[in-house]
Structure 1
Amino acid sequence: MLAWSDVERILRGGRFYWISTTDEDGRPHLVQQWGAWVDDHLYFEGSERTHWAQNLARDARVAFGTQTGTRAMFGQGTVDVVRGVAPDIAKRIASQYATKYGRTFDYRPKAAQYETGHVFRATPGSVATLLRASLLLRIGHGERQLVVRELREDQRVMQRINPGTPIDEVPWREIGRYKDLEVERARLHADGWKIEEPSRR
């Protein structure tokens, strides 16, 4: 299995990304796009009037892939349209586009293009969960909250807390990164967390 740093290197280095969306009748629709991998997201441009963009407006699920040299990578996730990208992210997207496509295709977008316009953002969802743990907290007056934490293959620590609604309806939130899975397992166990079997998301 590749280390996450190797996976990110492939995703950042890819010049051409295959993007698969779903037609209204359920058939797959495949296109090739330029793109930039920034902070665990794939950003790519395009008109919202295109076939694939209209597919995403109806069904945000996506599969994507790219190749760098002899190494290929693919993933699944969801896509949203970001309007007015944060300046630091916009600069990094523009920099990757200029590096990848400037010399061959003479395409060097400015960061302002993303700050004032829109860009598509794919958020991967198929990252392995190596450790899941849960803890039931008593918060007074007989009320309790369920806290669920996941330590994922990409070394992110994700958490969600039940605020009185079903836990599966609560979005995951990144709360940090870990270095050693076994150290984190021991720490959670010592703090009274219930350790669950690893699963695939």
Structure 2
Amino acid sequence: METTPRATPTSSRPEFPEGYGLPETTDGLLTWDQVEPRLRDAQHYWISSVRPDGRPHSVPRWGVWFDGRFWYDGAPTTRHTRNVEHNPAVTLTLESGTEVVIVEGESHATRVDPDDLGGRLSEAFGKYAAAGYTPAPDSWAGEDGGGLRVITPGRVLAWFDFPNDCTRFSFPSSA
């Protein structure tokens, strides 16, 4: 899979129930340039998926935000992977409960060419080198893609000063 950076999403005020104190104007909305670096720089992420019987499942993951998508890998036998093979809808979140970034999207299996995207992803995964994880550019080139998956966002909710800067980012569909 080759990829180009995704278009910048549009921003708007999310809809919350009355009483949450959201401003009525778009003054103070976050910009994508304020949010995306947090996705890129994070070390730990949480991914939530849905089991085939409808029960939720959450798991901490390492991964990289690159070209407007979240890339991660793991064994195809994990509960998470079996869930997203059945239903690709996922939520990806960062660890903070006060500086919040919530990505809603779909997770799909993929593989990459080691001479292009594989090399760039390997470099991005360098943030885990101190922890002993250093995938090579060809780690995701095999028939099964080395367990590589990509989350393509549809919507992102973010706030760093609730409720003043609550922002919804909507991505154009890739269809």
Shorter-chain TM-score range: 0.5 to 0.7
Deviation at 1:67, TM superposition (A): 4.1
**TM-score for the superposition, normalised by structure 2:** 0.67
Verify: 1:11 aligned to 2:42, yes or no. Answer: no
> Matched residue of 1:115: which SS?
coil
Tell me which protein shows more strand as a share of its residues.
1
One of 104, 122, 126 as aligned partner of 2:151: 122
| Gap change, CA 1:86 and 1:76, over 3 Å in 2 | farther
Residue-by-residue CA offset, 1:123-151 (whole Å, 9 max, x unaligned): 001159xxxxxxxxxxxxxxxxxxxxxxx
Residue-by-residue CA offset, 1:3-39 (whole Å, 9 max, x unaligned): 1012110100111110001012211100000001111
Residue 51 of structure 1 aligns to which amino acid in structure 2? R
- Correspondences of 1:131-146 after superposition (within 5 Å): none
Contact 2:155/2:169 (CA < 8 Å) preserved in 1? no
Number of aligned residues: 134
User: What residue is the counterpart of 2:3 in the other structure?
Assistant: none
Deviation at 1:77, TM superposition (A): 0.5
Residue 111 of structure 2 aligns to which amino acid in structure 1? R
Unaligned ranges ≥5, structure 1: 129-151, 159-170, 174-201
Verify: 1:48 aligned to 2:76, yes or no. Answer: yes
User: What residue is the counterpart of 1:96 in the other structure?
Assistant: 124
User: What residue is the counterpart of 1:58 in the other structure?
Assistant: 86
Contact 1:47/1:53 (CA < 8 Å) preserved in 2? yes
RMSD between aligned residues? 2.5
Residue 102 of structure 1 aligns to which amino acid in structure 2? A
Deviation at 1:87, TM superposition (A): 3.5
Verify: 1:23 aligned to 2:54, yes or no. Answer: no
**TM-score for the superposition, normalised by structure 1:** 0.59
Provide the C-alpha distance between the structure 1 equivalents of 2:48 and 2:169, rounded to a whole number of angstroms: 24
Unaligned ranges ≥5, structure 2: 1-28, 158-167
Provide the C-alpha distance between the structure 2 equivalents of 1:127 and 1:33, rounded to a whole number of angstroms: 18
Structure number, greater radius of gyration = 1
> Matched residue of 2:155: which SS?
coil
Residue 124 of structure 2 aligns to which amino acid in structure 1? Q
Residue-by-residue CA offset, 1:45-67 (whole Å, 9 max, x unaligned): 11111111000010010011114
Tell which has more relative contact order, 1 or 2 (C-alpha 8 A, sep 6+).
2
Displaced runs of 4+ in structure 1, greater than 3 A? 84-87
User: What residue is the counterpart of 1:145 in the other structure?
Assistant: none
One of 126, 131, 134 as aligned partner of 1:108: 134
Residue-by-residue CA offset, 1:55-110 (whole Å, 9 max, x unaligned): 00100100111147x633111111110023463322222112112x111x121111
